[in-house]
Amino acid sequence: MKFFVDTAEISEIRELAATGLVDGVTTNPSLIAKSGRKFLDVVAEICSVVPGPVSAEVVSNDFETMLKEGKKLAAIAKNIAVKVPLTVDGLKTCKALADAGTMVNVTLCFSPAQAILAAKAGAAFVSPFVGRLDDVGTDGMQLIADICQIYAQYPTFRTEVLVASVRGPMHIVEAAKLGAHVATMPPSVLKQLFGHPLTDKGLAQFNADWKKTGQSLL
């Protein structure tokens, strides 16, 4: 499974990229607005830090304008994945950009039927929002299971399932068990994956035992 971080904070991206565990980044206008910087400048800097896909979202709703915005975003760097909404105009934009060789991330997916449309439109990624479904009393992980099952039936589908709206480590684990290709998560959730009390306890014991020997490896 590939790990993307869902943030526009350059310092966090640099820190996590240094671990070698980050395969890409997802952003949106809301995340970039928090930085107080110009949208295109932030996206360009992220692309220079992370060699993998960087999702940058269009901000219009009609096909003609979304296509223009998508082309402008795609021109920033080769690793841009233009993010478009799962609407009729969004899918038309996806098809046009994908046919031109641009990676597209179709976002705001909430049903298996929508995921089929994204794959048929040539999306590189489809982003089902598991946390938002959980919030309204629907099983978000069941959506991931359904999409993975459907995509597995059609080898010609090249769309990767990008699990979004991740709220905690168990979303990641369950998505991985179901065979999802990618999970995007806030930096805080990625850091939570490292933690386990028995790891901390074991390390403390190892350190204490080594200190008693009075030896050094250096």
Active site residues: 83
Six-digit token string for 75: 């021109």
Give ∠ CA 98-81-115 in degrees, rounded to 5. 65
β 54-57/80-85 pair status? parallel
Q: Coil, strand or helix: which one is 51? A: coil
88-99 helix and 63-74 helix, angle to the nearest 10 degrees: 40
Give ∠ CA 134-135-136 in degrees, rounded to 5. 90
